[in-house]
Structure 1
Amino acid sequence: MDSITLTVNGVPREARGVRPHTTLLNWLRDQGLTGSKEGCAEGECGACAVLVARPSEDGGTRLESVNACLVMLGALEGQEVVTAEGLGRPGALHPVQRELAVRGGSQCGYCTPGFVVSMAAEYYRPERPAADFDIHALSGNLCRCTGYRPIEDAARALGGPAQEDTFARRCEQAAPTPQLTTLRTPDGDFHRPTALADAFDLLAAHPDARLLAGGTDWAVEVNLRHARAGVTVAVDGLPELRTFAWADDHLEIGAALSLSEIERRLAGRVPLLAEWLPHFASRLIRNSATLGGNLGTASPIGDSPPVLLALDARVVLASRAGEREVPLADYFTGYRRTVRRGDELIRAVRIPLPLAPVTAFHKIAKRRFDDISSVAVGLALRLDGDRVKTIRIGLGGVAATPIRAYATEEALTGKVWNERTVREAARVLRGEGTPLDDHRASAAYRAAMLEQSLLKFYFEKTGEEVGV
């Protein structure tokens, strides 16, 4: 089998000649749907944005915007996609398209379809207040002509409720369910199992298989570095990887839940995660990216490990032989290497309860949002009176792996939580890790940012004035 069937703009289509590395964007453009553009091929510009139909929490459908350049076509068997062409047409424009046109929101037009799609996703968002439009829904969409003001004007003009139209009615119906996919091609095999046992069988037979969830990291390797995998196993449709449950002593978050899903389900109940999530790439990326994928790539500059390390999280690894829990602090073994065996997958992440009451996330990058961090720091503090009972500090970007700042934690534990103690510990934190010089930051800058991060945490949380 080298074909799949999906629905595009309301019309069922058969995609033939599908290869494991075929992206949705490339296939759409081959079909003449050229509104979606390739601007960067790594999910940073939004020119390729499309809508996908996904389950909403109330049993209906949520139309979410994603980067088509990062979606592998093989993962879309039985799924629904809407492009900018499917939203409206000349003479019958969608409200989003109309507002962009009348307010001058399109200049060269290259980025316009992507903005249209992201605005439409916000337009139909179930939780959207009737009189409001979250402008951050457009994060990850770049305008090369710097015409952001008229684009924002168009978005603000859509503050009212969505019109009762084809898409609003579609959102009231159930979303497509994950479909079993098996593609065998000369370029490799692509599998999307819908049962966990089948995934285990595939991994047992192919321990070097490429595991795929949101694809926001792997697709960049495919697009820019022409990486290929002999066997790809997509795990995003496995129910066992989509759990979300509060227990007495922990919170379990399924490895295949998208970050946007996690954000909605948490609803701010884990303040450290609530502070971190808006800084993870863009909404387009968060609609696809997963915790399992971010931990699976084991990047030393991944944004989730510092936060999860501060929360003392554990990784649940599963295989045919059963499950095992590994403290995240012991999970990374080297640059992009972990303790996960080839026959295992990440099923979930568990965060111990109760949570530390004083937390913060600091991301140092060249841009405030939608950028890779030079340094990332997660902090979680528990006081006993005026003394430090426990503190967990997770660091990213300062070593070959994400790390815990054990020496700094030891320097603070049991000590009085005051400026003198913190300044002494900040100097210890400055020496944690083995930071390098690269194009994002120098080693000296990274070390200085570590020291400043702990000082910032102290003064912001205590409200004290900075001493001279």
Structure 2
Amino acid sequence: MVNGRSRLLGEVGGHVTLLEWLRSAGYTGSKEGCAEGECGACAVLVARPDGESRSRWTAINACLVPAAGLDQQEIVTAEGLGRPTALHPVQAEMATRGGSQCGYCTPGFVCSMASEFYRADRRPTGRIEPAPSAEPNGGARRAVRDPGVESADDPAAPGSAPDHEHGPNGFDLHALSGNLCRCTGYRPIRDAAYALGAPADDDPLQVRLQRPAPEPAPTRISSGQGDFARPVTLSEALTLLADHPTARLVAGSTDWGVELNIRHARTELTIAIDRLAELRELNVSDDFIDIGAALSLSEVERGLAGRIPLLAELFPQFASRLIRNGATLGGNLGTGSPIGDSSPALLALDASLVLARADGERTVRLADYFTGYRESIKEPDELIRSIRIPRPLAPVTAFHKIAKRRFDDISSVAVAFALWLEPGEPGRQMVTDLKIGLGGVAAIPLRAFGTEAALIGKPWDAAAVAVAAEVLGGEGTPMGDHRASAPYRAATLRTSLLKFFAHHQSPNRTEVTA
């Protein structure tokens, strides 16, 4: 279903991306810019579950996902948001405020902005009034703070810090992360986002959210563009994988999509596991938190709601919102990349992986999972069912991502800390346990066991930390490349521990226990 109209998908195969299919079907608003999920020009909306009875319009990169994976699903492109004679509110604001110049990126921005526009829990922190330059139809509006409303999202509220990433209308500017524009300098785009009011009650796309999202459809396509299968159950998927151990498992396809587009990789069979119910559970008990491997990062973030502070710190720094709407922890770990941002955090949390195959399951510690560059102990006929994090959680944690950009960038070095302290001598605290996860400093993500041993049982003071920082600088075997030199990476490891200690000693620090 595209823009409310049923379309024949055809024998597209596993190698045809949604973007390719859309453009071939005449929906040319979606553009190809980077073909690897970094520019957002291809963004579209898909209807995804929001509880059992509602839907959520979710923005994704059409250039990465296989078109076959959208069999019997609902898609909205920029063409489906409004008409030339009746612009959608997002389109009207972008036009009124000069948010589009060459227009190449605009359809993607509009779709990402619309996803946030329809977010059910978006709440204004001030009132919305027509701007002086508003058109007669009231399409242009501006946000004005209500003096009687105080909010952490309101930079003018007494006692609150300035927040340049949320509008008075509750719009989260991070919803546009992963969308690039070379023309406008972004300010007019931000102004358009911050001027949006609430969707009208009779807005068709708003009304659509009151119904459940489409169920995943069992799909099997044989094509010269690669076979594609969407099994209905985990058991069926594991049987299929046992019969085809070289098949490519796809959830968000944020890694495999790049391989298809940039490296022209191909596979005989693509198995979609993103909607398998058994891989989409989030269970919290007294002993552990189990995170389904096929839940998108955005779904995990919403589901955890800050229960794991270390992951809450990681999520905003993991790629972009567009990527997080598709990417999964299972996929990030399954690729075995030494620079996957989730690995250091999960190593510090002492996570384990539940691996499933046709004849049973086994649980392995993440610290023992990686065996070489993009290699692991996972067998070809196994998949990651869930990520298991033991409780109680460390009371003091931090995630340091060192990259050239603050957001939406690949790490040069990533370091995660999980620290337990107990009172020792008067005025001193002792380190009773410490786990440190590292990424970007070896062929595999790794635990800094040497540094942990250097601090456990020692006082948590500047002298002990300085000694341990030198040990941390020697962990791993960092290489030099275009992102960072080997000496820089080693120096970053040393200073990361010093920074962690300094922040913990700060009187303004916030410590969370769970």
Same fold (TM over 0.5): yes
Evaluate the alpha carbon distance shift between residue 280 and residue 304 of structure 1 in structure 2; reply closer, same or farther with a 3 A threshold.
Answer: same
Contact 2:9 2:71 (8 Å CA) reproduced: no
What residue is the counterpart of 2:296 in the other structure?
Answer: 258
Match of 1:38 among 27, 32, 36: 32
- Partner SS for 1:13: coil
1:201-350 aligned within 5 A: 201-350=239-388
In the alignment, the residues of structure 2 paired with residue 58 and residue 20 of structure 1 have an alpha-carbon distance, to the nearest angstrom, of 29
What residue is the counterpart of 2:157 in the other structure?
Answer: none
- Partner SS for 1:407: helix
Q: Does 2:87 correspond to 1:50?
A: no
Contact 1:107 1:147 (8 Å CA) reproduced: no
Match of 1:21 among 2, 15, 18: 15
What residue is the counterpart of 1:99 in the other structure?
Answer: 93
Q: Does 2:223 correspond to 1:180?
A: no
- Post-superposition shift, 1:248? 1.6
Contact 2:44 2:111 (8 Å CA) reproduced: yes
What residue is the counterpart of 2:502 in the other structure?
Answer: 459
1:69-218 aligned within 5 A: 69-130=63-124, 131-158=169-196, 160-164=197-201, 165-218=203-256
Deviations 1:306-327 (A, max 9, x none): 0000000000001111111100
- Look up the equivalent residue of 2:198 and give its one-letter code: P
In the alignment, the residues of structure 2 paired with residue 248 and residue 343 of structure 1 have an alpha-carbon distance, to the nearest angstrom, of 32
- Post-superposition shift, 1:187? 3.8
Unaligned runs of 5+ in 2: 125-168, 424-428, 509-514
Deviations 1:274-327 (A, max 9, x none): 000000000000000000000000100000000000000000001111111100
In the alignment, the residues of structure 2 paired with residue 11 and residue 392 of structure 1 have an alpha-carbon distance, to the nearest angstrom, of 53
- Partner SS for 2:95: helix
Contact 1:193 1:237 (8 Å CA) reproduced: no
In the alignment, the residues of structure 2 paired with residue 170 and residue 17 of structure 1 have an alpha-carbon distance, to the nearest angstrom, of 29
- Post-superposition shift, 1:146? 3.8
- Partner SS for 1:64: strand
- Partner SS for 2:7: strand
- Partner SS for 2:343: helix
Contact 2:9 2:68 (8 Å CA) reproduced: no
1:377-388 aligned within 5 A: 377-385=415-423, 386-388=429-431
Q: How many residues align?
A: 458
In the alignment, the residues of structure 1 paired with residue 51 and residue 118 of structure 2 have an alpha-carbon distance, to the nearest angstrom, of 14
In the alignment, the residues of structure 1 paired with residue 503 and residue 100 of structure 2 have an alpha-carbon distance, to the nearest angstrom, of 42
In the alignment, the residues of structure 2 paired with residue 234 and residue 378 of structure 1 have an alpha-carbon distance, to the nearest angstrom, of 31
- Partner SS for 1:8: coil
- Post-superposition shift, 1:464? 7.4
Compute the TM-score of the two structures, normalised by the length of structure 1: 0.97
- Post-superposition shift, 1:390? 0.5
Q: Does 2:367 correspond to 1:373?
A: no
In the alignment, the residues of structure 2 paired with residue 259 and residue 23 of structure 1 have an alpha-carbon distance, to the nearest angstrom, of 21
Deviations 1:168-199 (A, max 9, x none): 10001110011111111234311111111110
- Partner SS for 2:222: strand
In the alignment, the residues of structure 2 paired with residue 458 and residue 35 of structure 1 have an alpha-carbon distance, to the nearest angstrom, of 50
- Look up the equivalent residue of 1:53 and give its one-letter code: A
- Partner SS for 1:346: strand
In the alignment, the residues of structure 2 paired with residue 279 and residue 191 of structure 1 have an alpha-carbon distance, to the nearest angstrom, of 33
Match of 2:402 among 343, 346, 364: 364
- Post-superposition shift, 1:208? 1.2
- Post-superposition shift, 1:136? 1.0
What residue is the counterpart of 2:147 in the other structure?
Answer: none
Q: In angstroms, what is the RMSD of aligned CA positions?
A: 1.0
Q: Does 2:456 correspond to 1:413?
A: yes
- Between structures 1 and 2, the one with greater helix share: 1
Evaluate the alpha carbon distance shift between residue 150 and residue 187 of structure 1 in structure 2; reply closer, same or farther with a 3 A threshold.
Answer: closer
Contact 2:439 2:445 (8 Å CA) reproduced: yes
- Look up the equivalent residue of 2:488 and give its one-letter code: Y
- Look up the equivalent residue of 1:433 and give its one-letter code: G
- Look up the equivalent residue of 1:188 and give its one-letter code: G
In the alignment, the residues of structure 2 paired with residue 24 and residue 185 of structure 1 have an alpha-carbon distance, to the nearest angstrom, of 16
Contact 1:61 1:173 (8 Å CA) reproduced: yes
In the alignment, the residues of structure 2 paired with residue 464 and residue 420 of structure 1 have an alpha-carbon distance, to the nearest angstrom, of 19
Task: Extract structure 1 runs of 4+ deviating beyond 2 A.
Answer: none
In the alignment, the residues of structure 2 paired with residue 460 and residue 397 of structure 1 have an alpha-carbon distance, to the nearest angstrom, of 23
- Partner SS for 1:362: strand
In the alignment, the residues of structure 2 paired with residue 156 and residue 188 of structure 1 have an alpha-carbon distance, to the nearest angstrom, of 44
Contact 2:442 2:478 (8 Å CA) reproduced: yes
- Partner SS for 1:301: coil
- Post-superposition shift, 1:58? 5.4
- Post-superposition shift, 1:200? 1.0
What residue is the counterpart of 2:58 in the other structure?
Answer: 64
- Partner SS for 1:11: coil
- Partner SS for 1:37: coil
In the alignment, the residues of structure 2 paired with residue 424 and residue 162 of structure 1 have an alpha-carbon distance, to the nearest angstrom, of 57
- Post-superposition shift, 1:147? 3.0
- Look up the equivalent residue of 1:62 and give its one-letter code: R
- Partner SS for 2:443: coil
What residue is the counterpart of 1:445 in the other structure?
Answer: 488
- Post-superposition shift, 1:96? 0.2
In the alignment, the residues of structure 1 paired with residue 79 and residue 65 of structure 2 have an alpha-carbon distance, to the nearest angstrom, of 19
Unaligned runs of 5+ in 1: 1-6
Compute the TM-score of the two structures, normalised by the length of structure 2: 0.88
- Percent of counterpart pairs with the same letter? 64
In the alignment, the residues of structure 2 paired with residue 57 and residue 335 of structure 1 have an alpha-carbon distance, to the nearest angstrom, of 39
1:390-409 aligned within 5 A: 390-409=433-452
In the alignment, the residues of structure 2 paired with residue 190 and residue 371 of structure 1 have an alpha-carbon distance, to the nearest angstrom, of 31
In the alignment, the residues of structure 1 paired with residue 462 and residue 198 of structure 2 have an alpha-carbon distance, to the nearest angstrom, of 50
In the alignment, the residues of structure 2 paired with residue 90 and residue 215 of structure 1 have an alpha-carbon distance, to the nearest angstrom, of 34
In the alignment, the residues of structure 2 paired with residue 442 and residue 146 of structure 1 have an alpha-carbon distance, to the nearest angstrom, of 34
Contact 1:51 1:81 (8 Å CA) reproduced: yes
- Partner SS for 2:450: helix
In the alignment, the residues of structure 2 paired with residue 329 and residue 57 of structure 1 have an alpha-carbon distance, to the nearest angstrom, of 34
